[in-house]
A and B are shown apart, each in its own frame.
Chain A
Amino acid sequence: NAGVMQNPRHLVRRRGQEARLRCSPMKGHSHVYWYRQLPEEGLKFMVYLQKENIIDESGMPKERFSAEFPKEGPSILRIQQVVRGDSAAYFCASSQGTGLEEQYFGPGTRLTVT
C-alpha cells in the first residue's frame, strides 16, 4: 500500500513565477491536509480538503495561495507570483476519516524561490 505521495520533491522557482505542488493521498483516503514548514520552524496548518470541497482554509494566506482536490487526480496547492518568503517545505497529509489520529504525512515538497 503506497503511502502519501508528493511531487515534485524539490522545486526551484524565480520570484514572480507560479509553483504547483501535487499530493496523492493514500489509497482509500479522501481527506487531505496541507502544512507548511518554514526553515527552523514548526509545521503550520494551511488547508483541509475533502474531494471537491474546501473544509477549512483558515491557515491559507489570503492572496496568491489556492488549493483544490478534484474528484479525479491529486490535490494541488498553487502559489502564484512566488516571493522569497514562500521558500519552505510543504507537507501534505491524508486520512481515511476525520479522526486526526489517522493522518499520514507525505515526504514533502521543498520549494526554493530565487
Chain B
Amino acid sequence: GQNIDQPTEMTATEGAIVQINCTYQTSGFNGLFWYQQHAGEAPTFLSYNVLDGLEEKGRFSSFLSRSKGYSYLLLKELQMKDSASYLCAVGDNAGNMLTFGGGTRLMVKP
C-alpha cells in the first residue's frame, strides 16, 4: 500500500525557519518530491530527492533518508508569500505517477 503522512497545518512567523516533515511507506520508490500550492492554484515544483542527504535551493532545502522513509522541507527567512500548502509526493518505480500526501497548510504571520 501507499501511505504518506505530513502534518495538516503549521504556523510560523515571518523571518523565521520552519521544517515540514513527511514520512512515507510505499511499495515502490522513485524519488521524493515537494510541491508548493497556493489556494486555488496549480502545484509548482520545489524539489526532488532521490539520494539520501540535503538538497539546497535558495531559501528552500529538502532532506531525504530512504532507510527511515523520511523527508523534510526546510524554509528559511519566511515571507508572507510562503503561506501555502506544501505537498510531499513519492514517485512510483515505473515513473508513471506521483503519490501525494494530504499536504501541510503553512500560515506565515507577521
A107 and B31 form a contact (CB under 8 A): no
Of B45, B102, B103, the contact of A103 (CB 8 Å cutoff): B45
CB of B33 within 8 Å of the partner chain: yes
When distances are taken between beta carbons in the complex, the residues of chain A under 8 Å from B100 are 35, 42-44
Q: How far is the CB of B102 from chain A (nearest CB, A)?
A: 4
CB of B67 within 8 Å of the partner chain: no
Instruction: Tell me whether chain A's interface is mostly helix, strand or loop, or mixed.
Output: mixed
CB of A33 within 8 Å of the partner chain: yes
A2 vs B4: C-alpha distance when bound (angstroms): 32
Q: CB within 8 Å of B: which of A85-100? A: 91, 98-100
When distances are taken between beta carbons in the complex, the residues of chain B under 8 Å from A105 are 35, 42-44
The tally of residues in A whose CB lies under 8 Å from a CB in B reads 24
A48 and B42 form a contact (CB under 8 A): no
When distances are taken between beta carbons in the complex, the residues of chain A under 8 Å from B101 are 42
Q: Determine, out of B12-20, B70-78, B90-98, the stretch whose residues face the partner at the interface.
A: B90-98
A101 vs B45: C-alpha distance when bound (angstroms): 8
Of A35, A98, A107, the contact of B95 (CB 8 Å cutoff): A98
Most buried by B among A45, A59, A91: A45
When distances are taken between beta carbons in the complex, the residues of chain B under 8 Å from A59 are 97
Mask, A38-54, CB within 8 Å of B = 1, is: 00011111001000000
A100 and B44 form a contact (CB under 8 A): no
Mask, B2-36, CB within 8 Å of A = 1, is: 00100000000000000000000000001101010
A48 and B31 form a contact (CB under 8 A): no
A104 and B45 form a contact (CB under 8 A): yes
CB of A55 within 8 Å of the partner chain: yes
24 intermolecular pairs with C-beta atoms under 8 Å apart:
A33-B97, A41-B102, A42-B100, A42-B101, A42-B102, A43-B89, A45-B97, A48-B97, A59-B97, A91-B42, A91-B43, A100-B31, A100-B33, A100-B48, A100-B91, A100-B95, A100-B98, A101-B31, A101-B48, A103-B45, A105-B42, A105-B43, A105-B44, A107-B41
